[in-house]
Each structure stands twice: as structure tokens, then as C-alpha cells.
Structure 1
């Protein structure tokens, strides 16, 4: 049995945030610093690696060693993927996805990218919190980063970009419409524009690990 746990070692982890996995009675240290998680997202997008290479690199990112036990790897990344998908709100399993007028499910639009928007996120953290994210690499936990990111106020650079991407232009006209469309185009995400695309990446990643476990 493997589960994500809170560390009781206050010296190595004074916040008590998740940083361990328990597997068959043994605790494994887990690197859940924000930059490691973002590097994992980048790895999923990187077409230069094969699916098998991504599994090996990702495991080394989080655990510091290459996977030897396929069952352990499957259990670990099932827990990690569930953890990374988790949101503070709207996690009810009974919630149905939104649909269009014909009843076809419509994927949730992705309005930000931790990688493409990295500079805007950096500027926003400096602006609102006085935090230099470059100095927080390997230190700031993903839980803390997510909480601070979600708490960015409407005046920060990142929040303004999200507002531009989310703006409904249906009733705009003339120069106001032109300006809004130009802004949307300028700040448009390059790829993976929906949460559905991210879910497909996670699914493909997990299928590779499960195939290894069954081989």
C-alpha cells in the first residue's frame, strides 16, 4: 500500500506539507518543490523523449533514483497524478462536465500555463508577495506555490493575462473589439489549450507505466 503522507520530521520539513510516500511499510522522500512539478509538466510536453524515457526521468525527478519495481512506479504515479490534479474547489466526482447545445461534453479551457507564463508568474510573485521564485527553487513546496498562485490579485500581471484570455468578446464592437482580439492573440497559449489535453498526457504516461508492470 502506498499513500502520500505528511512528514513528521520538522527539521527537514518544517511546514509539514506532503513530502513522503509510504510503500510496504517504508517511507520514501518525495521532491514536491514547485520547480520539480513544473519540470514534470515540461517533460510531459517534450517530444524529444520516448514514453519509457519520460517514466524514468520523471521518477528520478520526484524520488532521486530510477524505478526498479514496476508495481511501485504504478502506485507512486497514480498517487502523484491524483495529487497534481487536485484543486481546492470543484473536486466532486458527481459533477458532470459542461456540454454544448447538442449535449456533447465540452472540455474545460486552460487559461494559463506554468511554463509559457513563467515570466508573468515570476513578475506577479515579486509584485504581490515580494518573493523571488528563482531563489525558491528546490525550497517552495507545490502546495504553497499553488496557494499563492491562486491568491494573486486582479492587478498582477498574471491575473491580467488570464482576464484577457477569459474575456467574452461577443458583444464588443469597433476598436474595443479589435483591441480585445489583438490582446487575446498576443497572449494566446501555444498548445495544450484545454484541461482535456493535460488529462490525455497523464493517461498516456500512466498507460506506459502499467504496460511496463505487465511485461
Structure 2
């Protein structure tokens, strides 16, 4: 399922033409992307991205582990909202859904972080 998530993200622009659902937004998700790259590869995207080719970036993006918040949020965004029975998960879905959220960063990170076991 996660490999499909990555494929969907890579083809997001193409899919947007046919399917308005989005699972990844480079602008709204940049902080999560930055954290995932730093956590996984120790790459500071603010400095290190100029040293990466597009192919290298894509390969690293595809290799991000499921444990990163970015990949967990992408997976959550791909769920069918009508099939989510758990109220906390449904609320979280609504907060991170790119298709109907106004303030993604402040809402999603706070809620998503609170959902983890401490």
C-alpha cells in the first residue's frame, strides 16, 4: 500500500487533472518532508537540495520509511473517509485531508502528534 502511496504522490500533478484528490502538497507538507529527510538521511533540504538531482530526490522520497510522520499522513489521506469508524481517526483524517483543510500545518501536526503513544 505504501508503494502505491508514493506512486500516487509522484503522479499527483497528473492525477489532479482527472481526480481532484491530493495526498501530498510540496508547499503544505514541506515541514514534514524536511523532517522526514533529516530524520532518515540527515539531509538538510534547505541546504542540501541543491546537491541532489531530481532522480536522486525521487529515489530518496520513495525510500522514506513508513515511520515518518509524512508517510503516515500520506497513508491516512488515502483512506476512504466513509469507511473510517474510529472517531479519533476520522477527526485526524479531516484535519490532514488536503482536499478540505484551510490550515494544514497547525491543525494536522498538533493532532497527529497527539495520536502517538508516549
2:92 aligns with 183
For residue 110 of structure 1, give the secondary structure of its aligned residue in structure 2: coil
Residues 118, 170 of structure 1: CA spacing in aligned structure 2 closer, same or farther, 3 A cutoff?
same
2:114 aligns with none
1:168 aligns with 2:80: yes
Q: Structure 1 residue 108: deviation in Å?
A: 6.5
Q: Structure 1 residue 145: deviation in Å?
A: 0.9
Q: For the residues of structure 2 that align with 1:184 and 1:111, how far apart are their CA atoms?
A: 11
Q: Which runs of 5+ in 2 are unaligned?
A: 1-9, 101-118
Structure 1 outlier segments of 4+, above 6 Å:
none
> Per residue, is there more strand in 1 or in 2?
1
For residue 39 of structure 2, give the secondary structure of its aligned residue in structure 1: helix
Residues 190, 169 of structure 1: CA spacing in aligned structure 2 closer, same or farther, 3 A cutoff?
closer
For residue 82 of structure 2, give the secondary structure of its aligned residue in structure 1: coil
Q: 2:81–2:93: 8 Å Cα contact kept in structure 1? A: no
- What RMSD over aligned residues (CA atoms) do the two structures have, in Å? 2.5
Q: Structure 1 residue 168: deviation in Å?
A: 2.8
TM-score when normalising by structure 2: 0.61
For residue 170 of structure 1, give the secondary structure of its aligned residue in structure 2: helix
Q: Structure 1 residue 137: deviation in Å?
A: 3.6
Q: Which runs of 5+ in 1 are unaligned?
A: 1-86, 89-96, 98-105, 192-215
Which one of 25, 49, 53 corresponds to residue 113 of structure 1?
25
1:133 aligns with 2:45: yes
Structure ID, larger Rg: 1
**1:99-140, CA deviations, whole angstroms, 9 ceiling, x for partnerless residues?**
xxxxxxx62632101111000000001111111111114222
2:34 aligns with 122
Q: For the residues of structure 2 that align with 1:112 and 1:157, how far apart are their CA atoms?
A: 12
Q: Structure 1 residue 163: deviation in Å?
A: 1.2
> Per residue, is there more helix in 1 or in 2?
2
The structure showing larger relative contact order (alpha-carbon pairs under 8 Å, at least 6 residues apart) is: 2
For residue 163 of structure 1, give the secondary structure of its aligned residue in structure 2: helix
TM-score when normalising by structure 1: 0.35
